[in-house]
A and B are shown apart, each in its own frame.
Chain A
Amino acid sequence: MKQDTAAKTLVIGSTLFFGMALTMGLLTALKFIMPTVGEIEYLSLPRVRMLHTNINLFGWLLQANMGVLLWILPRVLHTKLFSEKLGVAMAALYNLTILGGLVCIVLGRVKNVEYGEIPPPFDYLFMACWLMFTINVIGTIAKRKVKHLYVTVWYTLGAVIWTCFVYITGNMVSQLPMVTGINQANLIWFYVHNTVGLIFTPMGVAIAYYLIPKQLNTPIYSHKLSMVGFWVISFVYVWTGAHHMLHGPISHWLQTVSIIFSFSLIIPVMAVITNFFGTFATAPRSTRLDGPIPKLLLMGTVYYIFTCLQGPFQAIRAVNEITSKTDWVVGHAHMALFGTFSFYAMAGIYYVAPKLAGRELFSKKLGDLQFWIMTIASVPFFAVLWISGAIQGFAWLNPENTFVQTLAALKHAHVIRFASGGFIFLAYFLFLYNILQTFFGKYGEKDKTEPAA
């Protein structure tokens, strides 16, 4: 089978899912302004929200990360993918699984697991896909032609191992009949938080660790910082699940543990960020921000700082009292998964798509334009969620404000969220057009240079 078919399938699949996810997001935002829009069972607000999160996480982001990594791994390990056939089979099964899961959500057949609503048998099929991916990753590492494992490989290896346990705990163990109430809630939040922390963070960071030095043509700033970042995050991240229940009905000691470890997360994150910025700072000025790839990587890293400073502070009891359960949380989640990891994933796709197609990117200018629209629109998009979250949080402290009054006060915020989200949605089509043209368009000569080994 032709080399890189699996990566290509996953990259194209994810690019298409990204559009569906943004459509659902926009529809959710619209329903906050006009609740009677699309008032049918299959498009009720909660179902659209479930579609939005699941398509984003699994259809778009995870698939994009897997596709990009299946291209990167053989390159850093100086070998071929362990099994291209297994990769393609996984890509096909994965897309069918996600589609099947989405149909279930539309029909209201869901689990009570946030981010894991996709019901059996599709969650079991997802796990099968993940194992196939794991075999491919480990197999490729095993047959490598270099001695040293580069940082990208550490993170990918960590992600595939951790995710097996995280996914099974959240989606299968939590649904066992004897797991009830708060015990179940604890397992599910273990899953929810580690979905972001031990799937998307390591995979996104793995991609950035490859792309930043490669794109800027400069070595990574510090090997020691890479080690600090990786080993600390693999120890620290997993403890934080209970910070979703601060002040809530779970053991006080467990809350405190989650706060301490949430705060400790500043250490690995700052190590990673210093490393990324250090690499940017030592790169030649003239090419540092040339084209969409380094721009997306830089902006993603900026959002990574913000999101990872927000996280630890939100986990402090006094701050949590105001921010928790409000729109603030939504802003925080969007900055992590859209601002940071979707930006990294888009950078990855901009990087590998031309390599997969064997020619130059269709248009750098269009990529730049897409970057600027998304970045400029994302600032008011995140900010308005934090502002409305703070308004809600403080308004709720005063019993004189009825709940519906605090909701009415956020009307303007919901309008701004919809409008700025709309720009992000429009910019997506530039991305889609650029990538599809690169793969299938009729332009230019084939780039003769062999994909970098």
Chain B
Amino acid sequence: MPIPLGYTENLITPKSDRNVEAYWTHVAKGSGDSLILPDGRCDIILRFNEHHSKPPTPIVTGPSTIPYTVSFSTGDTWLGMRLRPTRGALLWKKRILMSENSVLREQDAIKLVPELFQLNRVGLNYSDFKRVLEPIFSVNVVSTNQPMLDAAVDLIHLGGGRMNIDDLATHVGCSARHLNRLFRQSNGLSAKAYSQLVRFHRGLRLIVQERHAISHASIEAGYTDQAHLTRSFRRFGGFTPSNLPSDLSIPTLF
């Protein structure tokens, strides 16, 4: 599981007290294309090239559920801030419901997050990025549903995305319908969609890191059969389990 060269990530802990999951940076050491796997989170990103004197491009992403490819050249730099799952509405407000796989750039991004305007200059660094964005998300979430949502996210991760939504809802004390709605309102994805994403990542890790046979990984990851796992890999990764990209980098979030 190669972590791309030049990628660093600073995870924010403890997880129960935070809206921000991580600040991350990536500096491309060469040029090429990179496959980005969906992680169901919302990010604020500034992209620029350290060798050019152009201001950065601000980017705001909705929760991704499909893979996408990023092309880059030497010196391309990304400064990123990733929100925890279920915190996307802090960024997108009511537009969160339409934000799945959305990407806003330039003025559209600044319109959503006006603070990004302050970062629209050459010579930007990680500290500037963090200093401007940190105050926006340091607020405590006031929603009374947040503890329930956090508990649901923890359970989804604990069960590798295998727990069905009815059981999940019972565990956190609400109906499946209500839980899915709360999830959508807070992160743009249903609890079911997020669970499927978590299950995909675990299945992928079992094959890539544990080197399990596809049939064994299908069972352990909770797919009904190999064809089911293959459909999930196509949907979330754009590849089949028997033909994985050799330079795949897997997020460490799941």
B is a partner of A: no
Residues of A within 8 A of B (CB): none
Residues of B within 8 A of A (CB): none
